[in-house]
């Protein structure tokens, strides 16, 4: 877990300070020194968030949701739930992204999801950030999935302040009344997205979001004034079967893959496509 690997890193730094480098240890390259600083800052951010009044509230909301969603571990692993994080941003240089990463680590710990069961992807991650994430035990994805990840097991998606197309793609890929209940999202409030977007644009470009907004279950996640920039407009979103049943049956038929060719302000980075 994060805590034990962080402890090992602290131990290594302690040895270096005392000039007791083991013979096999080489002086650190500047990049790995930066990584040490990144790790220290992440630990500090975790400690700060733990002292915030909203942390126990998040924990309670999330633990309650997990208890309802999961009743057995993912086959062949120790995970009760898998986790996927898209769009975290550059946590080395961006304070918001760093606090969001710290919150992710707190959540994984509270929900007893091993860090190795959490995969992350952001096309802007630097090589050094990928390495820090791997050192923390995360699985760093190398391909741009554009959010099109098919789930088999209960999966928590952590998408902080991400583009609408990521949510829409995720919904499309799991568009069935049997699968969607396995998807839990921590991300932008869907109701907030609806308020900020023209209805006709939502229906035309983000039809899966538009179809599901009125039947998903949304619980807003609180935050303090100090962390407004980091966690504002954040909600826990779920898709309970009894609510999905309110949708007409025909809505599930042959969902066609979203295409954003006509979108002028697409907020996500798409993968490079082979020319036709
Ligand atoms: C508005 S920023 C949010 C960054 C950070 N979470 C924050 O709140 O400050 C959206 C993030 O989504 C990332 N992103 C764009 N396309 C993506 C994709 N296809 N898969 C994963 N992340 C993507 C961007 O690189 C960017 O870091």
How close is the Cα of 256 to the center of ligand 1, in Å?
24
The rounded distance, in Å, linking the Cα atoms of 109 and 273 is 37
144 C-beta closer than 6 A to ligand 1: yes
The rounded distance, in Å, linking the Cα atoms of 9 and 14 is 9
Domain ranges of the chain: 28-252
The rounded distance, in Å, linking the Cα atoms of 217 and 240 is 7
Burial of 109 (0-12, 13-18, 19+ CB in 10 A): middle
97 C-beta closer than 6 A to ligand 1: yes
pLDDT in tens, 34-89: 899 999 999 999 999 999 999 999 999 999 888 887 655 556 666 679 999 999 99
Fold of 28-252: Rossmann fold (3.40.50)
Q: With residue 230 as reference, give the H or E element that holds it.
A: helix 228-231
269 C-beta closer than 6 A to ligand 1: yes
pLDDT in tens, 139-169: 999 999 999 999 999 999 999 999 999 999 9
Note the pTM of the prediction, 2 decimals. Answer: 0.87
pLDDT in tens, 171-181: 999 999 999 99
How close is the Cα of 100 to the center of ligand 1, in Å?
12
pLDDT in tens, 172-216: 999 999 999 999 999 999 999 999 999 999 999 999 999 999 999
187 C-beta closer than 6 A to ligand 1: no
pLDDT in tens, 207-254: 999 999 999 999 999 999 999 999 999 999 999 999 999 999 999 999
How close is the Cα of 122 to the center of ligand 1, in Å?
6
Q: Are 223 and 230 in contact (CB under 8 A)?
A: yes
Q: Are 121 and 86 in contact (CB under 8 A)?
A: yes
Q: Which atom of ligand 1 is nearest to the CA of 230?
A: 8
Q: What is the DSSP letter of 11?
A: H
Residue 29 is predicted with a pLDDT of 56
Kind of pairing, strands 234-238 and 183-188? antiparallel
How close is the Cα of 103 to the center of ligand 1, in Å?
16
Residue 162 is predicted with a pLDDT of 97
The rounded distance, in Å, linking the Cα atoms of 225 and 31 is 34
122 C-beta closer than 6 A to ligand 1: yes
């Amino acid at each position: 877990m994060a805590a034990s690997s962080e402890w090992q890193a602290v131990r290594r730094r302690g040895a270096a300070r005392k000039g007791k480098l083991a013979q096999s240890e080489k002086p650190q390259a500047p990049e790995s020194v930066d990584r040490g600083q990144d790790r220290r800052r992440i630990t500090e951010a975790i400690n700060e968030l733990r002292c915030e009044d909203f942390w126990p509230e998040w924990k309670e909301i999330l633990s309650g949701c997990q208890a309802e969603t999961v009743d057995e571990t993912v086959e062949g692993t120790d995970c009760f739930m898998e986790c996927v994080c898209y769009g975290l941003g550059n946590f080395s240089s961006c304070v918001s992204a760093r606090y969001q990463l710290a919150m992710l680590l707190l959540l994984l710990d509270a929900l007893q999801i091993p860090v190795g069961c959490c995969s992350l992807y952001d096309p802007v991650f630097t090589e050094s950030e990928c390495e820090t994430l791997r050192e923390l035990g995360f699985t760093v994805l190398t391909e741009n999935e554009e959010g099109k990840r098919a789930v088999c097991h209960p999966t928590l998606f952590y998408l902080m302040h991400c583009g609408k197309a990521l949510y829409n793609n995720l919904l499309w890929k799991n568009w069935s009344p049997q699968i969607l209940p396995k998807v839990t999202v921590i991300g932008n409030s869907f109701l907030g997205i609806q308020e900020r977007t023209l209805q006709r644009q939502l229906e035309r470009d983000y039809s899966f979001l538009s179809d599901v907004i009125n039947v998903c279950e949304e619980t807003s996640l609180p935050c303090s004034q100090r962390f407004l920039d980091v966690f504002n407009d954040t909600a826990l979103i779920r898709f309970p079967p009894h609510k999905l049943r309110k949708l007409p049956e025909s809505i599930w038929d042959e969902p066609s893959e979203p295409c954003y060719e006509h979108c002028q302000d697409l907020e996500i980075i798409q993968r490079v496509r082979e020319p036709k």
